[in-house]
Amino acid sequence: MLAARLHEYTDEMSHALSLDEIEKPTIAQPNGVVVEVQGAGWCQTDNHIIEGMWTDYVDQPLPMTLGHENAGTVVEVGPDVDLVSEGDTVICHPHITCGTCRACRLGQDMYCENAKFPGLTTDGGFAEYLLTNERAVIPLPGSVDPVDIAPHADAGITAYHAAKKAVRELNPGDHAVVIGVGGLGHIGLQCLESMSAAEITAIDLKEDARTLAASLGAHHTINPDSENVADEIAAITDDVGAQQVLDFVGQDSTTSLAPDIVAAGGDHHIIGYGGHIHEPSQALVSGEFAYRGTLVGKYTELQELVALVERGDVELRTTRYDLDEINTVAEHLEHGEIEGRAVITPP
């Protein structure tokens, strides 16, 4: 089969991945599932993997097929699989978990001690076929196109996971801020709007992104290039601040906003990454706010997100690309030239 594979880390996206002919995956475990990939979302994390940013956190055997946002049709199942059958369409949770470690027993499958992560620690879905297991596949309703929903396997579930945590702390009339209305941010904004009665402010440098945010339910928008973010949030919230901030950028310039825009007792959720947190400990003590990390989400949360998609509460903006355009997509994303999410469609 044809697969887009990373052979060495590089900053040059124009030739980051090569198209190789490799063996189609085969099932070795009784709960294994082989999926014919119909759509595989390209994520900013893919760029970071190519650059080698994950080498300090996980083992990555190269060459490796990237692609961790996958959906398609089941073509083979192991003898113990009951959840799906050949011909079913599915979206694949990005964590292939064991089900028996303590984290899995507690329902915290994102912390599985024996997890594999296609496209990050093992071969992913920028290929014709993907090997996963029964614990990672979620059957799709017939009304949902697996190509269009594929990016929800990571971008969507990550945004939903952050929004769900934030919504628990939001009461009607409270304020929430979304920083960055891009591929993840436009999903998170819709989740906030659907699941809470909070007043939402969206912050983005791009006019098109702010217009999109307003169309998706944001009550206010801020251009950080021409407006003082802290002053604007103070005016919008009557100097209280935002109870919950969802930071889909995660650069120094956005994490540093927290002491000035988060309300006392509130949270600044870090979803995008690449920057640092350099705030005095006194700022956290005096404001009693918290930085909270976001690592994808649980299997059950992807089920919940699929339900929101089926109901029409969350819409994903996607552009489709052929597998042989893979490095073009990497370049476009590196330069911020993709609106919404890019989806790779293998032959």
pLDDT digits (tens, 9 = 90+) for 207-235: 999 999 999 999 999 999 999 999 999 99
Residue ranges matching CATH 3.90.180.10 in the chain: 2-154+297-345
Instruction: Identify the band that residue 340 occupies on the pLDDT scale cut at 50, 70 and 90.
Output: confident
pLDDT digits (tens, 9 = 90+) for 101-117: 999 999 998 999 999 99
In the prediction, which pLDDT does 210 show? 97
Please say if the pLDDT value at position 273 is more than 90. Answer: no
**pTM of the complete model:** 0.91
Handedness of CA 156, 254, 250, 183 (dihedral sign): positive
Cα gap 65→54, rounded to integer Å? 15
pLDDT digits (tens, 9 = 90+) for 178-212: 999 988 999 999 999 999 999 999 999 999 999 99
Active site residues: 45, 48
Show the tokens assigned to 205: 């440098």
Average pLDDT over every residue of 117-141: 97
In the prediction, which pLDDT does 327 show? 96
Q: To the nearest whole number, what is the mean pLDDT of the chain?
A: 95
pLDDT digits (tens, 9 = 90+) for 25-45: 999 999 999 999 999 999 989
Burial of 292 per CB tally in 10 Å (0-12, 13-18, 19+): middle
In the prediction, which pLDDT does 196 show? 95
Instruction: Identify the band that residue 99 occupies on the pLDDT scale cut at 50, 70 and 90.
Output: very high
CATH topology of domain 2-154+297-345: Quinone Oxidoreductase; Chain A, domain 1 (3.90.180)
- Pairing, β 69-77 against β 129-133: unpaired
* Cβ count within 10 A of residue 153: 30
Residue ranges matching CATH 3.40.50.720 in the chain: 159-293
In words, the CATH class of domain 159-293 is alpha beta
Dihedrals phi, psi of 53, to nearest 5 degrees: -70, -20
Cα gap 21→293, rounded to integer Å? 38
Instruction: Identify the band that residue 347 occupies on the pLDDT scale cut at 50, 70 and 90.
Output: confident
Closest CA to 90 of 306, 341, 346: 306
In the prediction, which pLDDT does 336 show? 82
In the prediction, which pLDDT does 202 show? 98
Cα gap 229→256, rounded to integer Å? 11
Give percent of the chain above pLDDT 70: 100
In the prediction, which pLDDT does 195 show? 95
Cα gap 93→297, rounded to integer Å? 9
Instruction: Identify the band that residue 77 occupies on the pLDDT scale cut at 50, 70 and 90.
Output: very high
